[in-house]
Structure 1
Amino acid sequence: MGVHGKQRSCAALLSSGLVALLAGGAVLAFARQRSGETRAQSTLNEARMQAIVRSSMEAIITIDEAQRIVIFNPTAEKLFRCATEDALGAPLSRFIPERFREAHARHVAQFGITGVSDRQMGRQLVLFGLRADGEEFPIEASISQIDDGSGKLYTVMLRDVTGRVKADEALRRSREELRELSANLQNVREEEKTRIARELHDDLGQQLTALKMDLSSVEAALGEKTRPVSEIVGQLRDMRRLVDSTVASVRRIAADQRPIMLDDLGLLPAIDWLADDFTNRYGVDVERRIDAVDILFTPPAATAMFRIVQEALTNVARHADATRVTLDMRIDQRDCVLTVTDDGRGSPAPHGPRGSGKSFGLIGMRERARMLGGSVSMRTAEGEGFALTVTLPLQRVQQEEGQP
């Protein structure tokens, strides 16, 4: 945590501590009022404390030994969506989900005896509150007690931590996705090595072996001079065709790894090549609407966008059962927007098989976009195809003039 983070944490703790102190003063005022103590100066101080508690940003609820509510400040009204007049006199359990009520009652009873609580703001597990309309929500709580001679009063300070819980959950999911993506990348890398090794052995290896055999045959024929020259020339032509086929195989294997034109000619020609290759392989037309011809992309952005288009087309081939794909790239105000749409079968919901968080291709696209400060969104419905939109800040993807 940085210096500013520590300062904010200390400020939050001091603020909570001050509110707790003032809340204690207000409860003491209530206790004195209950016991009949009415000194003028004390009453003035107590009124001030209660005014501060009423304006507190923390929800403050005080209950008696029967766990009936005796103080319910305006923040608590907003937090639980319940008017003070409806809350006063009601059992605290009204604002606790039923499955937690028994444990809470035990905790308060134990706290009344020992004065020890594991509920301190920012230091305990997240609890759950129950709003008047039945909605559950996560809270942090701290508890204190005071004995005025007529019985104990318990004060609970509450804070809605819905935003923090959602952020923590999003961070947890992101970390889990990254771990899974990392593991999957290892598997993909090994699969790719296996595929390349198989192609080198089955394709290039067999072609080179055939060339070696042909060379041996030509060498023998020239040495023995038992075959006519025309037959040897014909065999040499076959060997040349085999060399051409071998060169084509080498280029195909190299292009599958990274097309040379991406580095030599730039992103847009590479995307054209990718679309043409996709159509040749799968028979699916790719309509291109590219309105970014004046943009010079940085090498990292060009690589990221090429891989995103490549993965999007791979998903279409694997899952869409489509007959047409539309690839749209445009400059929209300060963003570069890439959209890949197909007319395939789609998915019942964005979180279906093609939009699932477990789709490592989609996770990879999100990560590539995130590294450039962008985002990925999906739109789909069963029978209505699939649309993938990638939005990247123009300042992160455009190469300035004179920039290497």
Structure 2
Amino acid sequence: MGSGNGFPGGWASTFAAMSDMSNTSALERANQRESQRRAEIALRESERRFRSVFESATDAIVLADENGIISSWNRSAQAIFGYTEGELLGKPLTVLMPPRYRGRHGEGLSRYRNGAGEGPVIGRTLELHGLRKDGTEFPIELSVAVWQTAAGPHFSGIIRDITQRKRAEEELKSSYEQLRELSMRLETVRENERASIAHEIQEELGQALSTMRMDLDWLGKRIASPHASPDALKQRLVAMSNLVDSAIARARRIAADLRPGILDELGLGAALEWQARSFQERTLIRCHVVVDTRETIDRTTSAHLFRIAQECLAHVARHSGAHTVEVSLRAENGTIHLGVQDDGAGTPERLFQTSSSLGVLGIRERARLMGGEARIETRPSGGAGIIVSVPRDGAPNGAGEPLATDQRNEPGGIG
């Protein structure tokens, strides 16, 4: 029986169902297109984020396929290795490696392709060496990862240039060795000083006191004798007086070697002039002192600067071959400057970087102890100088009185 629209009832229901299915299919297709569009937008956004991170990374990033062929690398990699952007694309990773690594690299790739696993490199951070375009090697820190793609496995390497870190480590190690040697040298100086003082006390002051004791015994016996000669007693008293004067002079000399009294009584300028006269008498090298400050320098800083001057003069006497030397002391902008300059062969800057001259190393460490610095200046006309600059306000806490340098066997101090 037909329906009101002229179609059989069965046909009408069939057409309605087909219309619903058509509408559903169109909606599904629209949803699929929208989902695909959103996925493509998300993919492009993800790629932009990846590219932004990839290019802005401070470490070098290198990407390669399963055969070790470079497929991409960032700007930091270009800067570190010295290549332009297109020079390495499609080239093997081995161009970035010193020759000694290339054989093991090829073996590792073969093992991975043959299913032997990731090996000892992937997933670890290693310290190796890279090879720049100009052929120079440099230390690197390398981290390698692997990921799977439809085209096969790919590798990423994050590479950090650790040249500065290695240099800092070497400098720290060298500084430690220098300080260790300096500590040993200072201990030797201390022991030599003790031995020298003990010898002088025993051999000079001890002998003088023993002689005086015998003279006192002699006087005691002669005074008690009714036959004592006044002239003989007078002569012995004169000899004893001379012996006492000599012992006093020796005691003062020992004390001056340990710490000159003039340093505490008249200040650093006067002590430097005294040291210059003593240096000139011992070495026959003309020594001139210029003091261009009237400021009071605290006791600890004065003592350290005085010892530095001694060590500088010792270095001049032993190494420079100079004929004249000038010691200067001045104050400027809250800083005390001590300079020792000569007309000899000079002092190379490398001595501040090595332990070949522990005296020069000691100068640098004394300056650091006071919160200052020591540097070497050369003159175009010849000669060189060591300039020490320290704060005027005094040494930092912990920078106590310096150890007296052992000058008895060397002209002017420790070289």
Task: Specify the TM-score bucket, using the shorter chain as the normaliser.
Answer: 0.7 to 0.9
For residue 301 of structure 1, what is the amino acid of its counterpart?
A: T
> Which of 383, 390, 393 is the aligned partner of 1:392?
390
Q: Which moved more, 1:57-66 or 1:225-234?
A: 225-234
C-alpha displacement at 1:313, in angstroms?
1.7
Number of matched pairs: 355
> Any conservation in 1 of the 2:269–2:329 contact (CA below 8 Å)?
no
**How far off is 1:249 after superposition?**
0.4
What letter is aligned with 2:368? R
Q: Which residue pairs with 1:195 in the alignment? A: 196
- Quote how far apart the aligned CAs of 1:240 are: 0.8
* Higher RCO (C-alpha under 8 Å, 6+ residues apart): 2
Deviation at 1:397, TM superposition (A): 5.6
Cα distance change of structure 1 residues 396 and 217 upon mapping to structure 2, 3 Å threshold: closer
Cα displacement (A) at 1:40: 2.9
| AA partner of residue 277 (structure 1) | S
Post-superposition shift, 1:189?
Answer: 1.3
1:228-278 CA distance string (max 9 Å, x none): 312321221121111111001001111111122323333222222222222
Structure 1 unaligned blocks of 5 or more: 1-38, 399-404
Between the aligned partners of 2:163 and 2:151, the Cα distance in structure 1 is 37
Q: Which residue of 2 aligns with 1:28?
A: none
Give runs of aligned pairs for residues 294-309 of structure 1, distance below 5 A: 295-309=295-309
Unaligned runs of 5+ in 2: 1-38, 397-415
CA-to-partner distance for each residue in 1:125-144, whole Å, 9 max, x for gaps? x3221211223222212111
* Paired letter, 1:266: G
Deviations 1:147-180 (A, max 9, x none): 2243321110111222222222211111111112
CA deviation string 1:296-328 (max 9, x = no partner): 222321121111111112222333343321101
Q: 1:116, CA displacement in angstroms? A: 5.4
Q: What TM-score results when the alignment is normalised by the length of structure 2?
A: 0.77
Distance change in 2, residues 1:157/1:370 (3 Å): same
Q: Take 2:392 and 2:52, find their aligned partners in 1: how far apart are those partners?
A: 52
Please give the alpha-carbon distance, in whole angstroms, between the structure 1 residues aligned to 2:323 and 2:334: 33
Alpha-carbon distance between aligned partners in 2 of 1:105 and 1:298, rounded to the nearest angstrom? 68
Deviates more, 1:227-236 or 1:70-79: 227-236
TM-score, length basis structure 1: 0.79
1:2-401 maps to which residues of 2 (within 5 A)? 40-41=40-41, 42-106=43-107, 113-115=116-118, 117=120, 124=126, 126-293=127-294, 295-346=295-346, 349-351=348-350, 356-379=354-377, 384-396=382-394
In the alignment, the residues of structure 2 paired with residue 185 and residue 104 of structure 1 have an alpha-carbon distance, to the nearest angstrom, of 51
Instruction: State the alpha-carbon separation in 2 of the partners of residues 361 and 242 from structure 1.
Output: 38
Cα distance between partner residues in 2 of 1:98 and 1:213 = 85
Residue 160 of structure 2 aligns with an amino acid whose one-letter code is R
Report % sequence identity.
Answer: 34
> Per the alignment, do residues 239 and 321 of structure 1 end up closer, same or farther by CA in structure 2, a change over 3 Å counting?
farther
Assess if the C-alpha contact under 8 Å between 2:122 and 2:145 holds in 1. no
- CA distance in 2 between partners of 1:119 and 1:309 (Å): 58
Give the Cα separation in 2 of the matches to 1:279 and 1:268. 17
Where has structure 1 moved over 6 Å in runs of 4 or more?
A: none
Deviations 1:328-359 (A, max 9, x none): 12234443221101233446x4436x985232
Tell me which residue corresponds to 1:30: none
- Alpha-carbon offset, residue 105 of structure 1: 4.2
SS of the residue corresponding to residue 286 of structure 1 reads strand
Look up the SS of the partner of 2:144 in the other structure.
Answer: strand
Contact 1:350 1:380 in 2 (8 A): no
Contact 1:117 1:143 in 2 (8 A): no
Alpha-carbon distance in structure 2 between the residues aligned to 1:66 and 1:351: 48
Distance in structure 1 (CA, Å) of the matches to 2:226 and 2:108:
105
Letter in 2 for 1:324: T
C-alpha distance in 2 between matches for 1:227 and 1:317: 56
> Which 10-residue stretch deviates more, 199-208 or 268-277?
268-277
CA contact under 8 A between 1:355 and 1:362: conserved in structure 2?
no
Secondary structure of residue in 2 paired with 1:85 = coil
Q: Mean Cα displacement is larger for which, 203-212 or 69-78?
A: 203-212
